[in-house]
Amino acid sequence: MAINYNEKEEGKKKGILEIDNGDLEAFRSVMNQYGFVNEEALLRYALVALLQSSDNKLYIRQDGNVVAMKISEQLIKKSEPEKPNEVPN
């Protein structure tokens, strides 16, 4: 999966999302499972779900229990450690 950005008029950006291999299979599976009308609807729903989370977690029901989904550490941006005696912004 990749997003390629192209500069558009007046400094606006346009991103083109390429989905392939296993990611494409998973994407199609979700499309079928949930019955989204198109790919854009699926992406909009996923974005809204993430934006609406007040604690940056999503919860799912698994085997009758509500479970918080944990984001894999490799997907999270690493912050730089604070330097001693430096006031954070």
Determine, yes or no, domain membership for 48.
yes
The per-residue pLDDT for 66 is: 95
> In whole angstroms, how far apart are CA 5 and each of 2, 14, 17, 24, 74?
10, 6, 9, 20, 22
Could you identify the residue written with the tokens 């991103």? Answer: 15
Residues constituting the chain? 89
pLDDT tens by residue, 23-47: 999 999 999 999 999 999 999 999 9
The answer to whether position 89 is within a domain reads no
pLDDT at residue 87, rounded to an integer: 53
pLDDT tens digits, one per residue of 35-83: 999 999 999 999 999 999 888 889 999 999 999 998 888 988 887 666 6
Residue 81 within any structural domain of the chain = no
Q: How many domains does the chain have?
A: 1
Q: Which among 28, 26, 8, 6 has a CA at the least distance from the CA of 16?
A: 6
Domain residues for the domain of 66 are 2-72
**Per-residue pLDDT at 55:** 86
